[in-house]
Amino acid sequence: MKILFVCSGNVFRSLSAEYLMRKYIIDNDIKNMSVDSAGIYATPDAGMSERVKRHLKEYGVIVRYREPKRLTIDLIEDSDVIVAMSTTHKEFIREHFSLDVPLFNDICYGKKTSVPDVDEAYPVFDEDKWNSYTSKTIKHIHDSMPALVKNIDRFLKTKHL
């Protein structure tokens, strides 16, 4: 099974989910499961912030540079489950690819809620708030991995509209 996490820029939420899921798969010796991530507006020159890297390192994840990937039909066709990190991503995929995909929080907790980006939670830059929010979001994604693995089979059949 191949899981594809999707967010906006592929530099925070989806990339964190990819790295944390990959670590979870290895740590729990899960076979036949792989993971990737992409962003609906990803650009090659964007990169993961040091803040995100620092918080991922707290969970034993060392981030090496990887160019952000833009969501493409090839990535979609290569995936068994596409996971939208927010309702914006879910709507984008529905509009551009005619697919109804689940939200991260829906798979994990049965909640039709987004995992907001830091600038959505705090539109005005504030280093302390952005740092705290980044930490909480990465912890949420990390702590959700057992539930995601437990529930993912129910979402294997992504629906075409």
- Which of helix, strand or coil describes residue 147? helix
**Residue 49: pLDDT over 50:** yes
pLDDT tier at 19, thresholds 50, 70, 90: very high
Q: How far apart are CA 14 and CA 6, in angstroms?
A: 5
**Residue 47: pLDDT over 60:** yes
Q: What confidence score (pLDDT) does residue 161 get? A: 47
Q: Which amino acid is at 90?
A: K
Whether residue 42 contacts residue 74, with contact meaning beta carbons closer than 8 Å, is answered with no
Whether residue 104 contacts residue 84, with contact meaning beta carbons closer than 8 Å, is answered with yes
Q: What confidence score (pLDDT) does residue 157 get? A: 59
Residue 114 tokens read as 């987004």
Chain-centroid distance, C-alpha 6: 5
Q: What is the pLDDT of residues 51-104, one digit of tens each?
A: 999 999 999 999 887 889 999 999 999 999 999 999 999 999 999 999 999 999
* Domains observed in the chain: 2-153 (3.40.50.2300)
Q: What is the pLDDT of residues 121-153, one digit of tens each?
A: 888 888 899 999 999 999 999 999 999 999 999
For β-strands 99-100 and 159-160, DSSP reports them as: antiparallel
Q: What confidence score (pLDDT) does residue 158 get? A: 53
